[in-house]
Amino acid sequence: MGISVNGVEIDDRQIEQELPHHKGTPNPLKASVHEVVLRTVLLQEADRLGIAGADDDARVEALLTQEVSVPQADEAACLTYYRNHPDRFTRGAMVEARHILFQVTPTVPLDLVRETAEDILAALRAAPERFGELAAQYSNCPSGAVGGSLGQLSRGDCVPEFDDVLFRLGENELAARPIETRFGLHIVQVLRRIDGSLLPFETVKSQVAAWLATAALQRGIHQYLQILVGRARIEGITLEGSATPLVQ
């Protein structure tokens, strides 16, 4: 593919071997190429620093452990997160909802699907009573046969991006815009909701600390990768990088 990292060619076979791990992404080839390039950058840095390991995965892990350090969240940070995200620590909440799914396929451009979804959403704002009719006509989900009904849902029953919107909606509220998930675009309405109870902070403190630590580590790794990419000579593809450690 004419891609190299610091003068080292990326073999097409490496891309082919990576492809199966990215089947669910919008562009599997692009995701695979990026993954192989970033992995090559990391392994070259491990070579430079003399980091050994049983295999490449172990070397990358050892490199990140050595070079990426993040502060642990203290109790004040955990309490702030808890207070700012009460929905994540509420149990027993349920909603009754319905949706219209516009499935994205290789033969139908995403822009066309999005335009259709926006048009149907506009029609529902003008005439909410047509939801069942339009679900039966347009939805690519079997629920379209029953007016788009998803029945009663608890938090965690759906994919996170769907869940997050679903449990922020009030009764009879229609989501302001289509929700995009790996299944396609969804027009969503909550018909009824049951508010749950907030778990005590002490009960979830360790869970909050673990979440914050994971998020901090992910940010640290992302920043570190940006720095390495900024320093590397990458040809044949453009990756986001920074030549300075002052990456925000």
d(CA 80, CA 237): 41
d(CA 67, CA 121): 48
Task: Please determine, for residue 243, whether its predicted confidence score (pLDDT) is greater than 50.
Answer: no
The predicted model gives 61-67 an average pLDDT of: 94
Judge whether 248 lies within some domain.
no
| Confidence tier at 2 by pLDDT (50, 70, 90) | confident
| Confidence tier at 240 by pLDDT (50, 70, 90) | low
Judge whether 218 lies within some domain.
yes
* Percentages (nearest 5) of helix, strand, coil residues in the chain: 50, 15, 30
Is the same domain home to 100 and 178? Answer: yes
Nearest to 121 by CA among 140, 104, 149, 101: 101
d(CA 217, CA 82): 19
H or E segment to which residue 44 belongs: helix 28-49
Judge whether 79 lies within some domain.
no
Domain range for 22: 4-73+205-235
Global confidence as pTM: 0.62
Judge whether 84 lies within some domain.
no
From residue 240, alpha-carbon distances to 53, 114, 140 in Å are 28, 27, 36
- Give residues with Cβ within 8 angstroms of 226, minimum separation 6: 240, 241, 242, 247
Judge whether 184 lies within some domain.
yes
The CATH number covering residue 157 comes to: 3.10.50.40
| Tens digit of each residue's pLDDT (9 = 90 or more) over 89-137 | 988 889 999 999 999 877 777 888 999 999 999 999 999 999 999 999 9
Task: Please determine, for residue 222, whether its predicted confidence score (pLDDT) is greater than 60.
Answer: yes
Is the same domain home to 48 and 109? Answer: no
Is the same domain home to 127 and 149? Answer: yes
Is the same domain home to 99 and 184? Answer: yes
H or E segment to which residue 29 belongs: helix 28-49
Give SS3 for 100.
Answer: strand
Judge whether 88 lies within some domain.
no
Is the same domain home to 189 and 226? Answer: no
Per DSSP, helices labelled H in 106-200 are 110-126, 131-138, 160-166
The tokens describing 10, both together, are 């990326």
Other Cβ atoms closer than 10 A to 135? 25
Is the same domain home to 13 and 51? Answer: yes
Judge whether 225 lies within some domain.
yes
The predicted model gives 44-55 an average pLDDT of: 94
Task: Please determine, for residue 33, whether its predicted confidence score (pLDDT) is greater than 60.
Answer: yes
Is the same domain home to 187 and 212? Answer: no
d(CA 159, CA 183): 10
Q: How many domains does the chain have?
A: 2
The residue that leads in pLDDT, 26 or 123, is: 123
